[in-house]
Every structure is written in structure tokens, then in C-alpha cells.
Amino acid sequence: MNVAVVGTGYVGLVTGTCFAEMGNNVICVDIDEVKVETLSGGEVTIFEPGLEVFFERGRRENRLRFTTDLAEAVEAAEVIFLALPTPPGENGSADLSYVLDVAEQIGDLLAGHPDWGYRVIVDKSTVPVGTAKRVTAVMEASGIEEGVHFDVVSNPEFLREGVAVDDFMKPERVVIGTSSSRAGEVMTRLYEPFVRSGNPIIVMDEESAEMTKYAANALLATKITFMNEIANLCERVGADVDKVRRGIGTDSRIGSRFLYAGIGFGGSCFPKDVRALHRTAHEHTYEFQILDAVLRVNKIQRRVLVPRIVEALGDEHGRLDGRRIAMWGLAFKPNTDDVREAPSHYMIKDLTALGAEVVAFDPEAMDTTRAELGEGPIGEGSLAYATSVYDAVENADALVVATEWPEFRRPDLVRVRRALKQPLVFDGRNVFDPDRMAEAGFEYHCIGRPFVAPAIVLDEVDDVAEA
């Protein structure tokens, strides 16, 4: 089939590339001339494992093209996906200006070229309930008729950053929101090759499809937040949240996923979508009390380690002047360079505001962090970037683990201990085994597990290693 994708951000680029991999002819559109030139030149503009292979193959076989010309894409495509930004406004509601502006342009194009025929317009962006109707109204204002010249479909994405290619190519389910049997048939034909193993294509009304996306992300965010609350209580009563997680995760009614305690959720989806759903409830005079708690707890959780760091390293005024703190991890999760709403960034701002020098390392997210936070003086402290995990800890007063990258799980602990001024570790993702950290001579602070003091005299660590 002939497909157009408007927007080449994270969702748009993955969507276009994966549709091309399945044999469709795809044109991706973006107003950013530099980005289009970069993509046309063969360079992927986001980090996502597995994407580059499909991207290169699609370009090589001329199934994946990029342009700034919306008319070119609309003329060629049977199905047009809108994968545009919907950033949160000050009140938490999603900004639909990009979506509605492009919908208006497409409506004008179809009205001016009646010979182009019928098109399916797909809301791929995460959008509030009622957006499909708003897009339809905007397009009908151009003088074209729903059901004759076009239909609008809601097709929410359920992509997890870091495994988005697998999620797209082998979806657990495909949700299609449409009241048009014609549009439903087109969308089903497009997605059938992706669900040959029997996973469902679920066709429902537009409003239910729009709500499904928000409900899914809000529920997952709630599971994370609940476990963070359990972890905080575990610390007070002497329980171990990892053991609790295993104990409840084997219950089929609960499941084992999204039960890991840590320093809160971030990224482009969960924070924005929870706030947007909360705003939708407010607009319909419904008090969504669970989401109130989720937002409040996560705001606190992403900074939960800062008071502990200040208690361990601060002066009598609660300042960290002259303290050097190593931070492993900047991305909001592993296998991505996305730092939107990353807990690491909130901690960096807090620590530097107290005068600390933060030296950070991340396998992929240092450039995106530089673009957002800069480098050098920040607040009353500073931010620098290391070349490796061991470079980061050299002469640092403490190590903070903010992202659970696989390469952080089995470091040379003797080397880390020697590099640190003192054996102090704050593990925001429970990456390390507490007993192993104690044996290696570290004072180890984590989330929801009992505090671990060194099992051996710290001065003996180097002697043990040399022996």
C-alpha cells in the first residue's frame, strides 16, 4: 500500500520505517528541512535499537522516502498518518495545534484535487478523546465530505522506547478507532501482515480508541508509582521491595511487569499522558483521585535520593559546595537517548543548585543532555561529562545510578572503590546486589531495600583486592 507519515519524530520515523519494511511504499513528511536532508542522506536522527537496519533497507529499495512537500505525500498515499507533536500545555492539556493545522492543509489539498479520491487520515499521535471529531470538522470546513473524500481514524501507538521496532513489527494488539467500515477495512488490510501470529486487531469507535491509549499509560504509570510507595514503606518497616515484588508478581492477576521500584517514571509518554488524562477528567468535572496521587508521588520520587545525598555529604547548612558527584545514566530508561522528564535531570538541577559538581556518563544520552542542560556552570555548581563509567567516578565523593543500563550492572567494583574518595553509592534503580556491595566495602543506599553498611573495614578493601 501507499502510505504517508506526517512528522518524523520518534513515533513517525519508527512508523514509517516499519511500514516500509513490510513492503509498503512510504513517504515521510517534515517541515524541518535539515532533518529531511539528514534522513534523505541516510542518517537516522533518533537512537532506537534495530531501526537503522530497516531504515537503510527501506531507502536502498526505494520504499522509504523523505520530503518537505505535503502535497507530494498526500497525492501518492492511500493512508496518511499524523505523527505530530502534542506537547502539554501549562494546564496539562495536549496542544493539538500541529495536528489540526496539518489536517486543515490536507483538507485544502483534497478539496483542490477531487481527482485524488478517497483518503484515510490516521491520528497516530497521542490525542485527547474527541480529537478525531475535531480533525473531521477541520477537514470538512475545506468543503470535502466525510465518508466520501476521507475518513478519520484513531490508531494509538503502544511503542516502548528501546524495543519500539519489535513492538511495531510484532504488536500485542492493534487498536483501530473508526465508525467507517470502509476505513476499517483499509486499516485492517494494512496491519494484517503484522499480526500473522494471531494477535488481535481490535476495531472500536474513535473515542474508545483515544481513551485506550491514555488508560493504558496511566495504568502502567500507576503500577510503577504504587511500587515506589511500597518501596518507601519497606524502608520504614525493614522489608525488601525486591522480595515483595517477586511475591506479588507471580500472581497472574497482577503480573510481574512494571513492578520495579526506583526514582520514578519519565520519558515522553507517561508524564504527558497522565497529565492529559487528568486534565480531561477535570474538563468533564470528574475528580480522578488516583491520578492526583500518581502525579504527586512521582514528582517526589524522582528527587527522593537528593535528601539522602545531602545528609551524607552536605555541610551544616545543607550545602554540597566542593562535592563531586558521579552520575551513571541520563536517559529516562535504557536503550534510548531520550531525556524528556528524566529523573536524572531533576537530580542534576537540585544537586548543582546546592553547589555540587556533577560528572555524568551515559552510553547514548549525553548529547541530548547537553542540548537541554548545557555544560559547565549550572546554578551554583557545575555539570561535566565523562568518557566512561570509570572516568566519571574518579575522585568523586559519591556515585549515583540514575538509569539501569546493562553495562552498569557488572562493573569492576574494586576499581570503582579505588576511584571514589569514599565508598558511597546511591542506587536509584536497584541495579546492584546489596550483599555484593557490602562485601566490596561500599556504603550502599537503594530504593525500598534495607540500608547496607560495609561488611569489611573500608581500609582493608585495597588490601583484599591486592591479595
> Radius of gyration (Cα) for the chain, nearest Å?
25
Pairing of strands 376-378, 381-385: antiparallel
List, in sequence order, every residue forming a beta bridge with 65; answer none if it has no partner.
Answer: 27
C-alpha cell at 174: 492493534
Could you give the CA distance from residue 35 to residue 58 in angstroms, rounded to a whole number? Answer: 17
Neighbours of 43 (CB within 10 A): 11
Return left, alpha or beta for 121; rule: phi > 0 is left, psi -120 to 50 is alpha, else beta: beta
269 assigned to active site: yes
Give the DSSP H or E segment for 324.
strand 324-328
- Phi/psi of residue 69, each to 5°? -95, 100
Alpha-carbon distance of 437 to 230, in angstroms, equals 23
* Options 18, 28, 269, 446, the catalytic residue: 269
CB-CB contact of 412 with 389 (8 Å): no
Q: Determine if residue 167 is left, alpha or beta; phi over 0 gives left, psi from -120 to 50 gives alpha, anything else beta.
A: alpha
* Percentage helix, strand, coil for the chain under 3-state DSSP, each rounded to 5: 45, 15, 40
Q: Hey, which residues does 401 pair with through a beta bridge?
A: 328, 427
Residue written as cell 506537547? 87
Instruction: Give which of 64, 54, 56 is closest to 24, Cα–Cα.
Output: 64
Question: Could you say which DSSP state residue 407 is in?
Answer: G
DSSP 139-181: HHTTT--BTTTEEEEE----PPTTSHHHHHHS-S-EEEE-S-H
Q: Cα–Cα–Cα angle for 341, 346, 350, nearest 5°?
A: 170
Residue 317: is it exposed, middle or buried by C-beta count within 10 angstroms (0-12/13-18/19+)? Answer: exposed
Q: Which three cell numbers stand for residue 235?
A: 524502608
Which residues carry out catalysis?
269
